[in-house]
Chains A and B, each alone.
Chain A
Amino acid sequence: MELEEAPKQHYTDKEKGEIFNNEFLPHINSMYNFGYRLTLDRDDAKDLVQDTYLKAYRFIESFQKGTNAKAWLFRILKNSFINDYRKKSKEPNKVDYQEVETYYNSEEVDRQITPDLRVESLKDMIGDEISNALNSLDVDFKTVIILCDLEGFKYEEMAKILDIPIGTVRSRLHRARNLLKEKLSEYAKSMGYNKA
């Protein structure tokens, strides 16, 4: 459960309460946002966040006080989502990473640069378009964008949260952003941009 291989800690009940209130609870808004974007359902997001906090408390002695609580909580939530929630849902939502890596390493990527999307059209988009485009991405692509662009995690932290090498974080992020741009480009076209 721990993010780093840290020795098991020993806390008094008072210390546990302090860690929970001062280090875990302040991240609840980000956690709820993450849970909602993964499940796309407010009740499921509540269940997922609640489950995450209960697990965090149960395994609190695997957490070293004063270290990266936010990354630790995100990792628990992500694992709970994969192991519990995703199993229950019938949605397969799997990505062929071999295809992704092959794509990323090909020259195609540089030639493609970006879909037909301009800064001006982006600036006119209202929140719903961006939010819907993000929500519509496959969960593994959506996750890297949330962790990096919304929550500001570093590549190294993302690698630990997701249990993947940093190189894979980079390539997945690159692919995710291109997919997002493709979606936004479709919105932009429907808004009348890119016709000139």
Chain B
Amino acid sequence: MNNLNPFVKPNQTKPSCMEMLQTILDGEASEEQKQYFKGHMDNCMPCFKSYDLDMALKQLLQSKCCGGEAPQDLIEKIKIQISQKSAQ
């Protein structure tokens, strides 16, 4: 079976569900791995549930913790210091 699982690398043991899930969620999976995992999720309830939760968490982090702008005075200060340095 192992040789059918595209997550298995030569000389390595079969990856756990968590390892496969993480590879998928973080966009590190190949097309072949994505297809395999789709089929795997149909038969693995923990993966199915964890996928939804982990995806929701990732999206929430992106929407709630990103954004925000650097203060304008910081940008101005950096620009001034760089122009002084380049003039030296």
Contact = CB atoms under 8 A, between A and B. Distances in A.
Contacts of A6: none
Interface in B42-84: 46, 49-50, 52-54, 56-58, 60-62, 64-71, 74-75, 77-79, 81-82
A174 B78 CA distance: 36
Contacts of A110: 16-18
B15 to A, nearest CB: 10
User: On chain A, which size bracket covers the interface?
Assistant: 35 or more
Contact of B66 (A31, A33, A123): A33
Contacts of A162: none
B78 A53 contact: yes
**Chain B interface, >50% SS class:** helix
A186 B65 CA distance: 19
Contact of A174 (B22, B49, B57): B22
A42 B56 CA distance: 29
A95 interface: no
**Chain A interface, >50% SS class:** helix
Interface in B1-58: 16-19, 22, 26-28, 46, 49-50, 52-54, 56-58
Contact of A145 (B52, B61, B85): B61
Interface of B: 16-19, 22, 26-28, 46, 49-50, 52-54, 56-58, 60-62, 64-71, 74-75, 77-79, 81-82, 85-86
